[in-house]
Structure 1
C-alpha cells in the first residue's frame, strides 16, 4: 500500500532534487514555482560512486525530472539502445517479417556466449545480439536507414560511421533527454510506424511485470558508457526514463530499478 500511495503522490508532480550535481532548468523551476505539491525523487544514494544522469518523465502530466541536467543534454553514442529504432525500421520496411525471424549464426565466436547461436529479432533484442542487428541494418540499407533516422529526428542523425557500425561508438549520438523524447513517442504509439510494428517492438522490450506494472527497457554499453532507457506503465500512468553513466549497462539498469523501486513506482 505504501508504494501505491507514493505513486499517487508522484502523479501530482515529478519533483526537483537539490544536489550538488543537479542544475535546475528554467522549465522545471517554473513548474516548481507554480505547483504547491512538489515531491522529490531521491537518487543521490543510487548514484554514489558514479558520474551519470537520470531523466524521468510523467507522460500524463508532462512533467520531467532531471538529475545532472548538463549530462542529460550531452550526446553520446546510443550503443545497443539503438536496437529499438533499428527494429522499428527493419519491421516497417520488411527487412524482417516479424519478431520470430531467424538469422543463422555465422560461426564466429564472440565475447558473449549467448550470441554464439541462431537468433530471432526478439531474442536479439533481449540478449542485445549485435551481429543480428548489424545484419538487419545492412539489409535495410544506408539510404533507407538515413531516411528513417531523419524522419525520427534521432539524435544528430549522423550515419557516416558505416551502415553496420554508426551507432556503436561511431558517428551517431543522442542525449538522454532525446532518448526520453523518442521513447515517449513509442509508448504513446505516435511514431511514424505502423501500429503493429510499434506494438511488436514494445512487446520485445518487456523486462519485468508485476501486479500493477509493466517495465519496458533496453540497455546499451560501449566506450565506458552504460545506458538503460525505457518506460514504466503502472496503475494507468506512464513514466519514461533514461539513465546514462560512466560504467556498465548492468550498473545503469540496477541504478534505474533501484530508483523506481525506492520511490514507489514499482514494487518488487
Structure 2
C-alpha cells in the first residue's frame, strides 16, 4: 500500500504527505548516503495527531519518502514560491544542499513520469475520493494538511521559524470563518509563536484541493519540530513536549470540525 488511510465519520480529512520514510529499492540504489538519514521527513506526525481517530476524522499518511517523490508538489513541477529557493517534485538534494543521487543517476523526465504514476497518483486519487465521499455525505469538508519542519533551515529562511505556520494561499483556499476559528485558538495561547500566510502559504495539496466554492475548505499547518521532538538525529519523539502541544492541536482541529458542521 502506498499510504495509510482511515475513513472517518465527520467532514474533516487530515493529510500527512511528508511522513513517509520508505524509498523503493530501485530508487534507493541510485541514491547517496545523504538519503539514508531521511532528515527532511515530517517525523512522528501520525503519533502527534493520534487523537484524530477518536474525533472521527479521516486521515491519509504517506508511505513513500519525499526523497522519492514529493506528494505536495504539482505534477508539472512548477515552483509554488516563484523567485524563492525550494525543492522540487523529485528532489535532487536535501534541505541542506546535500546531493541525493550518485553522479549520473539524477532522474530524467521519463523516470519522473514513472514515479508520478506509481507513487504520486495513488495518494492523490485516495485523497480526492475521500473528499468526494465526505462532500456527498456532509455537503462541505475541511482538508487539513499537516506538516512539520526543522525550526532553522538557512537555505529557505533566516533565523528561526514561528512555531505554528498556517497557510491558506492568502485566503483563497478556505472561508474566512474557518481560518478565524482555527487561528483564533492558536492566538489565544502564549506558548507558541504564530504566523498566517507568512513563509508558508500552503503547498500543492492546500492550493489545488482548497476550493471553497465547491465546498472544500483547505488549510495547511507547518509546525516547527522543536515543539514536539528532537531536531537532531535520531529525531526522537519528546513526549514531554508533545503533551504540551497536543491539546492545542486537538482544539484547533476540533474548531475546524465544529465550523464545518455548523
What's the TM-score, normalizing by structure 1? Answer: 0.29
Structure that is richer in helix per residue: 1
